Structure 1
Amino acid sequence: MKLASFLFKECQGTNRFKKLVLFAMFGLFAVHAGFSQQRVSGTVTDEQGIPIAGAAVMQKNTSNGTVTDFDGNFEITTTESNAVLVFSYLGFVAQEIPVRGATINVMLKEDLQQLSEVVVIGYGTQKRADVTSSVATVKAEDFVQGNVRDAAQLIQGKVAGLSVSAPSGDPTEGTQISLRGISTLSSGGSNPLVLVDGVPGSLNTVAPEDIESIDVLKDGSATAIYGTRGTNGVIIITTKKGTNDMKSTIEYNGYASLATIADRMDFLNASELREKFNEGYTFTGANLQDFGDDTDWVDAITRDAFSQVHNIIFRGGNSTSNMTASINYRDIEGIFLKSNNEKYTGRINVNHAMFDNKLKTNVGVILSEQVYNALGDGDSFNPYIYRQAIIHNPTEPIRNEDGSWFERAVYFYDNPVSYIEETFGENRYRTSRIDLSMSYDFGDHLTVKGLYTRKGETNIRGFYQTKNHVSTTENGQGGFASRGTDNYVGNYGQFTVDYDNSFGAHKVTALVGYNYEDNMNEGFWATNRRFPTDGFTYNNLGSGQGLQLGEGGMGSYKNADKLIAFFSRVTYNYDDRYLLMASMRREGSTRFGEDYKWGNFPGISLGWRIDQESFADNWDWLSNLKLRTGFGVTGTNAGARYQSLSGLTYGDYFLNNGEWVRQLVPSRNANPNLRWEKKEEFNVGLDFGILDGRINGSVDYYNRTTKDALFNYSVPTPPYFYGSIAANVAQIKNSGLEFLVNVTPFQTENFQWTANLTYSTNSNEIVSLSNDEFQLTNDFFDQGYTGEPIQIATHRVQEGQPIGNFFGLKSVDITDDGIWIIERPDGTRVPATEATNDDRQVLGNGLPKAYYSWNNTMKYKNWDLMFNLRGALDYQILNFSRMFYENPTIGYNTLDSAYDLVYGKAVLQDVQRFVSHYVEDGDFLKIDNVTLGYTLPKDAVKFAQTFRIYASGLNLATFSKYKGIDPEVNRDGLAPGNDERDKYPTIRTFTLGINFTF
């Protein structure tokens, strides 16, 4: 049968196309001996009668065997008259059948537990049954479908303990990720390490449609082998690849998508503002008067955004080589005008084996170019524009009668439409990656592997505000232009020696290796003003006169660092019952002090497969029961380069002997003791499976302690060179529980329902922030910022308290004349006008204490339905929009709710303040992803082996008491839970797509 026919049958109704890229075709040659030989032939199929290609057919207790062809047919000559044939295939239960005739037809049954048997771990793979650490795997058929941001959104809600959110609707922004909470004080230090086919990369290195599976290493024993990179977990992305003897196939995935604002805050429209005028309200600033128009300013700067994605993958191979080539095109519109994002990604991967498969080589190339509009200097989104739209007087026109922009002389008040239309900007971001690898099997269970990767990134940016732009007309500066380029080059090398052997009931693997990595960044920027024409935009900076008048600027930079590591790992399996994994990594970084450039990161884990014990032989209901425990030490590399070295920078000019001389001033203290943050993590877990695996899952408890956490401390000058220093002082604790349950409630010939439930908790505590050498003035420091006009911190990080605490005034009532009443920490109450900073207290916490999800997949004949629910519990959000605009006294447009009675007593008449009234519960439940698909029958389409059409929605509905746009807000850093007033609103997307293979 032709490949097209086979592949369609293989996919029809079973969604098992992934198996075609998982198995490696292998040849087994029959051993001919003796007069008792018998030729046997037949067909191997699945439960639906669809032929299985590549199934192994072995004569039991011999090396005599073969594999089925692409139509499931086999032929074998046995060497004994009483021979027994063993039929097996990945993901199916093996069968043993005695030879009693010349024909044997076999139907293999799926083994649901074995479908995810092999998982990717650090520098290799391991059988799921042998894994002793906390590791999760998500296959392509379980990915979130639709217009996803990056690879992380594919597994949103799929992995217990992994939080993936998209708090911004900006098409150039990715997701926010947190695995097992926050373990550091460093900015941006909570992101997991991302590996793409074994090489450090990003969640955007390859297109989501190009990914075969994603593995998540969660606990310290699993990630210790990655040292400083593994402290926040490891996400391992495996791309789709061809296999040997795979006939050529072309797979197309494409979709069109429509995005809308998920929700809007209710600001006064024109008719509502006029009602307030009629009710006797008087205003200053923006709403001073009725200008006679009716403008929806948010509508004027937004749109329903249309996007399209196309992905084509070619795969094929022969007995010694295979190749994969793909190209991906993404044209993603943002909901704001001029927020387009276009990206091309191409990937080629070639494998070749020589010398009887002993020598294997691989060449891989990944290239991409992304072009997007910039409404800010270097940024796709300018939050100031959105803020202007929501606070603008709805009775104002967009333009004057003469066609010029309508502008008014109000503080921080500009026409948002003109801001967009008079701005031109573009960022062009290019990446390249070349992988070269080679492995040689020396026999005697020994394999040597080498890998080299060269990575490059270039960002060319330009930005221009015209001569009519309000920011230039107000200052009479005749246009503003900016130009810049950023370049990155990195080299990555890896060398490993693998050993794998069995001695009776003993199975041993060993790995030793070496890593080398260097990174170099450089760039420049320049700005100018006062241009003779807008025609050049940012492409002729020299034509502006601003440089001569001291209004231009320029700068450049260059920095570099290196990372070197030696690592090893040993695994031991005794009788498939008792398991051990131990690893060690010694890593050196140029970012640390002279005396602490090297660190050691050990890891160890143990496993006990209880179901394999003799006392469990009669537990027929039990298919898996494994106890795991592990301990590992990981680190955090210093966030900024050169922190261990003293620094000087250029300051002001001074007159010396009639000449102006620019002085050098200190910018950084040296710290030769700057070293790794070290995170020690203990994990204990239980894997279980009952009823032949129809119910299976895991439970994990973890406890983390981060020691020597980095933070900048104020120091006296003298004796210090500069007023602050980066030092290893703080200690943080982090712990939690994770539950995962997979269930198959129904499974019949035509209908199957599988469900996945996750639940995870997390809590943390700042144990200490000071030591004998470096101390804070108090046992706390403040983080977050409200902005004008309130101008106060929103969070406090304090010893004995968790990260994420809101810290402000606790409002409990309001006076008859509309002034907040504040409850002090001692319980007494005063008007807000008498409250001081000493009256502030903890008002809540911006980090959820628990996350949960419920993922479902249903299949009925050719139909498939997937729906995912996801939520978070026990956390608070500071609603900036209400804090700033739910107040009728301000000089800008207000929320409708600004005129409601507070506590049922009075309309607010106080100034804008950060009080607990605006700290809201954030608990939510989302209908996150719903996908309905249909696979066409074979006779309905002639040109393709498979053809599927589907409709999908993302972020479809949210159930929450939170009054803002979306309760899934920014949770990064030390000020989580701040719902900024001018952030890019979250979006809701609807997608229609097709997948086919031919």
Structure 2
Amino acid sequence: MPQHLLHGLLRRACLSTAILTFTTLAFPALTQARQSAYPTPSDTVQIGYGSQKRKQVTGAVQTVTASQFNQGLIVTPEQLFTGQLTGVQVTALSGAPGANSLIQLQRAASMAGDTAPLVVLDGVLLEPGSDPSVYSPLGLLNPYDIASITFLKDAAATGIYGAQGLNGVLLINTKRGASDRKLQVDFQTQFALSTLPKKVSVLSADEFRQFINQRGRQEEKNLLGQANTDWQDEIYEKAVSYNQNLSLGGTVGFLPYRISLGHLKQNGILTNTNFTRKSAAILLNPSLFDDHLQIQVSLKGNVGETQSANPNLINAAVHFDPTQPVYAPDGSYFEWRDPNGAPITSAPLNPVGLLNRPLDKEEAERGFGNTHIAYQFHFLPALTAHFNWGYDRFQSDRNGNPSYTVRLPQVPETIEQSGQTRKSRQQEYYLTYSDKLERLQSQLDLTAGYFTQKTEEEAYSNTMTVPQGERQNGGWYRQGYKLRAFFGRIQYGIKDRYFLSFSARRDESPIFAKENRRFTSKAVGLSWRLSEESFMQNQKIFSDLKIRASYGVQGNTPPFQQISLNFGGSASLDPTLTWEKTPSFNLGVDFGLLSNRLTGSLDFFQRSTKDLFARHLLPSNGLSYVITNGGELQTRGAELALQYQALATEKVEWLLGLNASYSTNELTSVSTNAPANWLAPGFLSQYTNITGSAIHSYYVYQQKYTNDLPQEGQYEDLNKDGRIDRGDMKPFHSARPKSLIGFSSQLRYQKWSLGWLARAELGAFNYNREAAQYGFYSIYVYNRVPLNRSTDLLNTNFTAQQFNSSYYVQNASFLRMEYISLGYDAGQLLQNKLTLKLSATVQNAFVLTGYTGQDPEVAYGVDVAQYPRPRTFSLNLNLGF
């Protein structure tokens, strides 16, 4: 395993410490830092290059702190806030160890442009990489180091980030050393057990025999075995995982510091799959010259190893003949053979044998770092100069054997190798001016600065023979680009009641032609704190009341990887391509009732994206396309967040939280020559892009029913021309949910605590491709051997596949109990020298849904056999010294 990343991290930390020590010797007029160990977002919020009092914020902002984070075996940072942020959908891409998640804002409004939120870690903008479905910006970050997460949503909040902030901004602040404190040592150890909640529903061995005997030819009947094998039982197991974290923090002289080390070993419920992460982090945050000079040095290093199964293994186990044994009479794995005893070439391999073949292995390392210096001028204390330098480096190498069928004797065994290296460096230089204008009873805040980011990326892929080591084919690419921006913001408050903000950012992107490279995003926000008005002083309903409004226009770019790296097709840019433009409007109200025991916010939003990026097929073949502008997409909806202090006594505290959102979208116009159900390579063809439909809608025939049973091959003649053809297909529902709901409870009684979070997605529809592909009665012979079927054929009685039937577009609404946690805080022990906390947690406790597939929560909505999301039980011990 590569270790130089961690060593380099420690070397940089020692160098930073030496520099700061020299500074204090040379300049003795120093005071200790004033920053606390944990932020207090109930009073302040970080929003675009600085912190502000919450009452002054004019945009839609939400913060989740460490005390509110989801509990259990938390492997990636997005699991901390799943279901916690209003209007933010977090969907695990699979249940595999260390798997990343799809994070989308319901406000996002683009068809082929970038829709991922911007992630800012301690001031460093994290790059998603060429394949964000595999390499999330958060994938190798240790959640234990995170103190708070703030999400910026509307134009007033994200405007200063320009085009990069169009889809929301995740501000991640990590824990830091406290001032005026002695050494504080915290240790966390965790033990977890994961199980399989539900299997894919297929025919049992007896049902399969009956099926073959009734429907099969003699050739298939002769292949039946005498075993009763549940292949899913054979490949899944109970998995034990471990997680340990150690942190040291405090202040040495003038220097607050925090050092942390972490080690995670997550074993998967699929045998022989696991994820291991080693992490280290150092954060130094001194304040010098009577707090006029503030410095933050942050370094993080992470090394990860992933062992994953053959990508076809789960599908093979779901559909392998259940009448065959795991082992042949000679003790070897059962494999398909013809009557003469020769292997049936290209027949599927034994799933258990596949499981124990050399597996896919990936080694990855990622380092983050930044230095932020803020100097408050002595001659003009209202003016502060900021210098921020950051870096983000990612490297990965992967080896795997994707084959899952019997080879011809003359065909050599092969492995696939791939990897990438990405380096990103950024620099920010900006000034802030903050002053109270006493005579005008006003507060003025100004920000102006310059940003640049340079990214270099390399990737390779090879196919090598084993053991000869000969390369059969391969590819390599290198790309680099540089982003630049000038930004500014004006904020003005009067009498602590009326607030105005205006931000602008001029971005420059090399993706576009020279004449189209620059775009200026603009946003304005207004807020009025009515509760401070004299006419509100005698009322007893509202203890706090503020209304907000914002409007802005932001740009968007196509995901850079679509241009430079496309497997299965090629993409290019129209020379006249210009920025997507998204005007957005937000109207919100923040309120407090019952002396602020009940607090909340309500927002209404509307977006209208113009000059949509669309894929225009080239006449050469069906896979090459050019990205052009054409079309408009409208999105509108509402978001509600509530927090209620149900009980607050010395012995009992009970806090309830609710967040809910609703949104709709419509393609009001589309300009593309692609077929209605054609998408870019890598996506299945059930989606459509027709004017009047919602994005991620399915394109199918309308199934006819008799007594609630689908009639095979019978569809509605929508255009009334007397025949059924493509003219009768239409958009039908969408993979995107209309509503997201999260409900949480935190109850404390003396030293005991009970917390849980349930979340729901309503109005989303999945295309049940598993049932569509295997739910029919005709014998499906794959390379001369039959495959097992989905039990859905018992519901439909379909004889042949009906891929384009609306029957398979199924309601995937669900309610999931994300976690339930019971804790005990023993308090101060050993003469106040030790603190002890214990907790037990179950994650993915249950799911309520009418969906017939294995799991209703599917990224992108197309449901195929994939690594299932586990149910996990964990025990956690926290010690403090």
Q: Closer, same or farther in 2 for the Cα pair 1:829/1:995, shift >3 Å?
A: farther
What residue number does 1:572 align with? 492
- SS of match in other structure, 1:341: strand
- SS of match in other structure, 1:337: coil
- Contact 1:784 1:793 (C-alpha < 8 Å) held by counterparts: no
**Cα distance between partner residues in 1 of 2:306 and 2:694:** 39
What residue number does 1:750 align with? 651
> Is 1:176–2:102 an aligned residue pair?
yes
**Aligned ranges 1:400-415 → 2 under 5 Å:** 400-408=328-336, 409=344, 413-415=348-350
> Is 1:707–2:610 an aligned residue pair?
yes
Q: Closer, same or farther in 2 for the Cα pair 1:526/1:937, shift >3 Å?
A: closer
CA shift, 1:229, in A, is 0.9
What residue number does 1:636 align with? 556
- SS of match in other structure, 2:689: strand
Q: Closer, same or farther in 2 for the Cα pair 1:801/1:483, shift >3 Å?
A: closer
Report the AA paired with residue 119 of structure 2: V
What residue number does 1:366 align with? 300
**Aligned ranges 1:611-690 → 2 under 5 Å:** 611-640=531-560, 671-690=574-593
What residue number does 1:897 align with? 791
Q: Closer, same or farther in 2 for the Cα pair 1:244/1:600, shift >3 Å?
A: same
**Cα distance between partner residues in 2 of 1:525 and 1:920:** 38
> Is 1:767–2:659 an aligned residue pair?
no
**Cα distance between partner residues in 1 of 2:682 and 2:77:** 33
> Is 1:856–2:745 an aligned residue pair?
yes
- Contact 2:772 2:801 (C-alpha < 8 Å) held by counterparts: no
CA shift, 1:321, in A, is 1.4
Match of 2:691 among 781, 799, 804: 799
What residue number does 1:776 align with? 673
What residue number does 2:777 align with? 888
What residue number does 2:131 align with? none
**Aligned ranges 1:52-201 → 2 under 5 Å:** 116-186=42-112, 189-201=114-126
Q: Closer, same or farther in 2 for the Cα pair 1:173/1:412, shift >3 Å?
A: farther
Report the AA paired with residue 587 of structure 2: V
What residue number does 1:433 align with? 368
Q: Closer, same or farther in 2 for the Cα pair 1:995/1:723, shift >3 Å?
A: closer
What residue number does 2:423 align with? 489
What residue number does 1:391 align with? 319
> Is 1:813–2:739 an aligned residue pair?
no
Report the AA paired with residue 664 of structure 2: S
Q: Deviations over 1:360-417 (max 9, x none)?
A: 33322111100111435xxxxx1x2111111111111223222333222386633222
> Is 1:692–2:626 an aligned residue pair?
no
**Aligned ranges 1:340-379 → 2 under 5 Å:** 340-376=274-310
Q: Closer, same or farther in 2 for the Cα pair 1:723/1:290, shift >3 Å?
A: closer
Q: Closer, same or farther in 2 for the Cα pair 1:917/1:345, shift >3 Å?
A: same
Q: Closer, same or farther in 2 for the Cα pair 1:286/1:511, shift >3 Å?
A: farther
CA shift, 1:864, in A, is 0.7
CA shift, 1:463, in A, is 3.0
What residue number does 1:514 align with? 450
- Contact 2:242 2:266 (C-alpha < 8 Å) held by counterparts: yes
Q: Closer, same or farther in 2 for the Cα pair 1:895/1:667, shift >3 Å?
A: closer
- SS of match in other structure, 2:294: strand
**Cα distance between partner residues in 2 of 1:585 and 1:968:** 37
Match of 1:446 among 372, 383, 397: 383
What residue number does 2:197 align with? 262
- Contact 2:319 2:789 (C-alpha < 8 Å) held by counterparts: no
What residue number does 1:910 align with? 800
Report the AA paired with residue 242 of structure 1: G
TM-score (norm 2): 0.87
**Cα distance between partner residues in 1 of 2:728 and 2:682:** 18
CA shift, 1:754, in A, is 0.8
CA shift, 1:529, in A, is 1.9
Report the AA paired with residue 809 of structure 2: V
**Aligned ranges 1:417-432 → 2 under 5 Å:** 417-432=352-367
> Is 1:989–2:877 an aligned residue pair?
no
- SS of match in other structure, 2:216: coil
What residue number does 1:84 align with? none
Match of 1:581 among 469, 493, 501: 501
Q: Closer, same or farther in 2 for the Cα pair 1:457/1:684, shift >3 Å?
A: same
Report the AA paired with residue 175 of structure 2: K
CA shift, 1:946, in A, is 1.9
CA shift, 1:678, in A, is 1.8
- Contact 2:345 2:408 (C-alpha < 8 Å) held by counterparts: no
CA shift, 1:351, in A, is 2.3
- SS of match in other structure, 1:798: coil
Q: Closer, same or farther in 2 for the Cα pair 1:130/1:284, shift >3 Å?
A: farther
- Contact 2:188 2:246 (C-alpha < 8 Å) held by counterparts: yes
Q: Closer, same or farther in 2 for the Cα pair 1:287/1:769, shift >3 Å?
A: farther
Report the AA paired with residue 509 of structure 1: D
**Aligned ranges 1:259-298 → 2 under 5 Å:** 259-274=194-209, 276=211, 280-282=214-216, 289-298=223-232
- Percent of matched pairs sharing the same residue: 26
**Cα distance between partner residues in 1 of 2:77 and 2:562:** 32
**Cα distance between partner residues in 1 of 2:354 and 2:591:** 59
- SS of match in other structure, 1:116: coil
Q: Closer, same or farther in 2 for the Cα pair 1:365/1:390, shift >3 Å?
A: same
Q: Closer, same or farther in 2 for the Cα pair 1:964/1:944, shift >3 Å?
A: farther
- Contact 1:309 1:329 (C-alpha < 8 Å) held by counterparts: yes
Further displaced range: 798-807 or 214-223: 798-807
Q: Closer, same or farther in 2 for the Cα pair 1:727/1:600, shift >3 Å?
A: same
**Cα distance between partner residues in 2 of 1:434 and 1:921:** 44
Question: Which runs of 5 or more residues in structure 1 are unaligned?
Answer: 1-65, 71-88, 92-113, 377-381, 532-542, 650-665, 972-976
Match of 2:519 among 577, 590, 599: 599
- SS of match in other structure, 1:185: coil
**Cα distance between partner residues in 2 of 1:863 and 1:816:** 51
What residue number does 1:938 align with? 828
- Contact 2:704 2:716 (C-alpha < 8 Å) held by counterparts: no
**Aligned ranges 1:200-279 → 2 under 5 Å:** 200-201=125-126, 202-204=137-139, 206-274=141-209, 276=211
Q: Deviations over 1:327-381 (max 9, x none)?
A: 11111111212211101111011123333332233322111100111435xxxxx
Q: Closer, same or farther in 2 for the Cα pair 1:797/1:874, shift >3 Å?
A: same
**Cα distance between partner residues in 2 of 1:361 and 1:210:** 19
Report the AA paired with residue 520 of structure 1: E
**Cα distance between partner residues in 2 of 1:152 and 1:451:** 25
Q: Closer, same or farther in 2 for the Cα pair 1:896/1:590, shift >3 Å?
A: closer
RMSD, matched Cα: 3.2
Q: Closer, same or farther in 2 for the Cα pair 1:622/1:115, shift >3 Å?
A: farther
- SS of match in other structure, 2:718: coil
CA shift, 1:158, in A, is 1.4
- Contact 1:591 1:641 (C-alpha < 8 Å) held by counterparts: no
Match of 2:251 among 311, 317, 340: 317
TM-score (norm 1): 0.77
CA shift, 1:592, in A, is 1.4
What residue number does 2:763 align with? 874
